[in-house]
Amino acid sequence: MKKIMILTLITGFAFAILTSFTNTKTTSDNLQISADNQQFNSEMFVFAGPSGLPGQMELGEKIYKEKCTACHQADANGIKGAFPPLKDSDYLQADLKRAVAQVLNGSNIEMVVNGETYKMPMTPQVETKEDAVAVINYVLKTFNGYSEDKFVKLEDVKDVVIKPKL
């Protein structure tokens, strides 16, 4: 019995040591970092260049469907008097930097959108500027017909402060 316990411990210890030397660790579904941190899967880096736009739109769509449709609706027309429209929204289009800040930090301010007053607070929806920019650009393209040259860029929102979540 004692030999079996010792053999089991040695085998477990050897297994732990051998698996700690594996070359690749998965940190998320789409990001792999090798042991030397020199190789990575770039699917999550949506701002890297021209090929990044489809990835950014896909991320923005995913966030919109998960976080925004309950209030703003699938067609982005909102619910009159309760949740403002994002489609053809004068408020959204007037200040895209403010829109990114509101997606990141939420908002408790009364706003007038297309002549209608809205008082419903919005909770923070995402945790990173990249996610906020992706969802705003998705809304701009999909529901407002914006072209890529009018999109929000990360450098446009570099001074937006992400407030701590309580």
Paired sense of beta strands 32-34 and 111-113, if any: unpaired
pLDDT reading at 51 higher than 50: no
- Give Cα separations from 70 to 46, 75, 82, 147 (angstroms): 26, 11, 12, 26
pLDDT of residue 165: 82
pLDDT reading at 31 higher than 90: no
Q: Which domain holds residue 78?
A: 48-157
In-domain check, residue 106: yes
Of 42-46, 61-65, 78-82, 158-162, where does mean pLDDT reach its minimum? 42-46
Our count of domains for the chain comes to 2
User: What is the chain's mean pLDDT, rounded?
Assistant: 80
In-domain check, residue 165: no
- Give Cα separations from 62 to 7, 10, 98, 150 (angstroms): 50, 47, 21, 21
In-domain check, residue 166: no
pLDDT of residue 34: 35
- Report H helices in 20-152: 52-63, 69-72, 90-94, 96-105, 129-144
pLDDT of residue 128: 98
**Banded model confidence at residue 3, pLDDT cuts 50, 70, 90:** low
pLDDT of residue 52: 80
CA-based torsion, 91, 95, 96, 100: positive or negative? negative
Q: What is the mean pLDDT of the segment spanning 62-76? A: 98
Q: Is 26 in the same domain as 57?
A: no
